[in-house]
Amino acid sequence: MKVFVISIEEENSLRLNTFLCQSFFQNGNLEYTKVGVKGGELSAKEYFELAVKGRDKPLTPGELGCTLSHLAALKRFLETSDEFALILEDDAILKNDLSYQMLSDGLSKIDLPKNLLLSISGIQMKECRKVRGKFCEFSLLNKKVLKVVPDFYHRVNYTVSYIVDRKMAKTLLEYHKPVRRADDWSYLYDFDTSSNILMTYLVDHPVIDKGERDQGLSIIESERNTTADLLKSKYGTNLRKSIAKIKFKKFTI
């Protein structure tokens, strides 16, 4: 199983070094590939074509960079002969009792479906608590595994840590034409009815509130918070509009 770390940090940064010092990486002995695309450094033309053109709501530079980073990791994975890829973002909190070998061995002992995306973090986060599905007959490292039903794919969020097989890597590369947010899997089953999303809780993640300003926790949320929403008119609301229809006249020809 190939390991990819999604990070735009420099090799000697405190954030990245803190992440790699976790016991999962066996004091630097675990081989991994670091992938990171800085959306803010793309040309204006690239950004417009990929994140703005034809969209009601453009992707932020951070969202675009995050997605391109994950897609680059998937492409690198398909250049190998490995069956699975583990993709980790550099804010993942890997528990001390979780090791690469344990995870790899655990995967080999269960009958996983093909075209698989197995999220191993996120199910515990607020945005994912409404996810529904059926529990699999197997467990992974003594944790229950939920097979998400397509009606709740839109509730599956977070790309902090997940596992894909080769089929899903190919599916996601095609799915992101045009590019979506990295964790927007809402249309995945419509796109390919053989897709499978499974979720369990092995890896933790800092709690992120909307509009988070601390870039050490969330660069994307901090970025979203840099621009305030435009003021909205109090006129034209349902009640005022109903009263105006009675009180005022419209032009007739």
pLDDT for the residue numbered 170 = 98
Q: Mean pLDDT score of the chain, rounded to an integer?
A: 87
Question: What is the reported pLDDT for 251?
Answer: 44
pLDDT at residue 157 in the model: 87
Asked if the model's pLDDT at residue 58 lies above 80, the reply is yes
Contacts of 198 (CB under 8 A, 6+ apart): 112, 113, 116, 117, 118, 119, 136, 145, 146, 147, 148
> Rounded to an integer, what distance in angstroms lies between the CA atom of residue 205 and that of residue 92?
5
φ, ψ (nearest 5 deg) of residue 4: -120, 135
> What's the Cα-to-Cα distance from 111 to each of 104, 122, 139, 170, rounded to whole Å?
13, 22, 10, 21
Answer whether residue 213 shows pLDDT above 60.
no
d(CA 139, CA 240): 55
Average pLDDT of 16-38?
90
The Cα 237–Cα 100 span in angstroms is: 55
Q: What's the chain look like in SS3?
A: CEEEEECCCCCCCHHHHHHHCCHHHHHHCCCCEEECCCHHHCCHHHHHHHHHCCCCCCCCHHHHHHHHHHHHHHHHHHCCCCCEEEEEECCCEECCCCCHHHHHHHHHCCCCCCCEEEECCCCCCHHHCCCCEEEEEEEECCEEEEEECHHHHHHCCCCCEEEEEHHHHHHHHHHCCCCCCCCCCCCHHHHCCCCEEEECCCEECCCCCCCCCCCCCCHHHHHHCCCCCCCCCCCCCHHHHHHHHHHCCCCCC
Residues 166-182 have pLDDT tens digits of 999 999 999 999 999 99
Q: Which of 24-28, 38-42, 202-206, 210-214 has the lowest mean pLDDT?
A: 210-214
pLDDT on residue 246:
76
The token pair that represents 113 in the structure block: 């479906």
Q: How confident is the model at residue 223 (pLDDT cuts 50, 70, 90)?
A: low
Per-residue pLDDT reduced to its tens digit, 77-102: 999 999 999 999 999 999 888 999 99
What pLDDT, on the 0 to 100 scale, is given for residue 206? 82
pLDDT at residue 220 tops 60: yes
- Length of the chain in terms of residues written: 253
Residue 243: the pLDDT is: 75
**Model confidence pLDDT, tens digit, residues 96-130:** 889 999 999 999 999 999 999 999 998 888 777 88
Q: Does position 202 have pLDDT exceeding 60, yes or no?
A: yes
What are the pLDDT digits (tens) for 134-170?
999 999 999 999 999 999 899 898 999 999 999 999 9
Residue 177 tokens read as 């034409």
pTM for the whole structure: 0.83
pLDDT of residue 100: 94
